[in-house]
Amino acid sequence: MSPLLSNLVLVAKQVAILFALMGVGYGCNKAKLFGETAVKGMTELLVMVVAPCLIVHSFQRQYDPDMLAGLGFAFAISVAVHLVGMAFGRVFRRWGESSGRTMCFAVIFSNAGFMGIPLEQAVLGTEGVFYGAVYVAVFNMICWSYGVMMMGGGRKAMSAKAILANPGLLGVAAALPVFFFSIRLPDIVGEPVKMIADLNTPLAMVIIGFYLAEADFAAVARNAWAWAVIIARLVAVPSIVLAALWLLARTVEMPPKAMEAMVVAASAPVAALTTAFSVKYGRDVPLSVGLVALSTLLSVVSMPPLVALAMTAFGAK
């Protein structure tokens, strides 16, 4: 079996496992095992507790100058990926204040936390999460600054506290000293952190599956511009990132898993925050729900070949 095909099978299998977990959430919704209030609580637990624990756990490793350089690289690439998304997003801004801003947000921001981190953990291990956490931190900084300004309609909507005091950024800030000083948490702390971190993938997938059960796929499928947004988010942006990284790797030596983690994050479907921001700022909520749901469903087809190409091109073992 060729390396590309082998990687494709590996990634497709892991994506299928993630979707099987989503099926649990979907089934729980249909069976009325729990409702919206419970899922909101689960989401708060995931964002505020589980994700920071996962970041701290993944940063718990021997200090390595090469990995520090990789962190800087991951930060720069993460910013660049969001700038590419902004360039594409401007095309959709013209389509009305409500729908246009929702579509723009959907193109720029991927579900790098809920969907990207679990896949990075599955195919790249803790080193993939190590670099993927940087993308999530950049996502949060840009989302709570540019994203808020765009969806809220001006700079007055921005808050310095929201930009700096968000779980993704705080998680990285707490984890960096652990990495820099090669701190090994004592078992009485480290084991609970690891156990909580292990909840990330199943909890995130169950939450996504729950909301997929409530989506109106038919309505968004009839919207040609919604399809353009989904193609931009799932194909155009990650393809540009993959091509740019491949060209860059021919002249600059970079950690393979860092490059692969960037492709995973860039190829993730529309961010779940698209709906939250649409509700908060009075944008097109039904469109946002449809974009998140349909792009998530289609990512089972789009993510495996892109990630497999990255793994083959960059050759991380």
Judge whether residue 304 has pLDDT over 60.
Answer: yes
21 falls within a domain: yes
- Give the residue-averaged pLDDT of 94-118: 86
**Across-strand partners of 270?**
110
On whether residue 51 sits in a domain, the answer given is yes
pLDDT at position 75 is: 94
Q: Is residue 50 part of a domain?
A: yes
Work out the mean pLDDT of the chain and round it to a whole number: 88
pLDDT band (50, 70, 90) for residue 162: low
At a CB cut-off of 8 Å and minimum separation 6, what does 254 contact? 70, 73, 245, 248
What pLDDT score does 254 carry?
Answer: 86
Span 158-166, mean pLDDT? 68
**In the prediction, which pLDDT does 148 show?**
85
Give the range of the structural domain holding residue 105, as residue numbers without chain letter: 3-311
Instruction: Assess if residue 317 is contained within a domain.
Output: no
b/e per residue 122-151 (b: at least 16 CB within 10 A) = bbbebbbbbbbbbbbbbbbbbbbbbbbebb
Q: Does the pLDDT at position 278 exceed 60?
A: yes
d(Cα 146, Cα 302) in Å, to the nearest integer?
27
Q: What does the pLDDT read at residue 14?
A: 92
Q: Is the pLDDT of residue 114 over 90?
A: no
Task: Provide the number of structural domains found in the chain.
Answer: 1
Is 201 contained in some domain? yes
The pTM for the full model equals 0.88
Please answer whether residues 163 and 141 qualify as being in contact, where contact means their C-beta atoms are separated by less than 8 angstroms. yes
Does 315 score more than 80 pLDDT?
A: no
Question: Within a domain: residue 316?
Answer: no
Q: What's residue 51's pLDDT?
A: 86
| CATH number, domain containing residue 253 | 1.20.1530
Q: Enumerate residues 6+ apart whose C-beta is below 8 A from 50.
A: 196, 197, 199, 200, 203
Contacting residues for 252 by C-beta, under 8 A, at least 6 apart:
none
Confidence of residue 3 (pLDDT cuts 50, 70, 90): confident
Q: Identify whether 45 is part of a domain.
A: yes
Tokens of 264: 């995973």
- 84 is a domain residue: yes
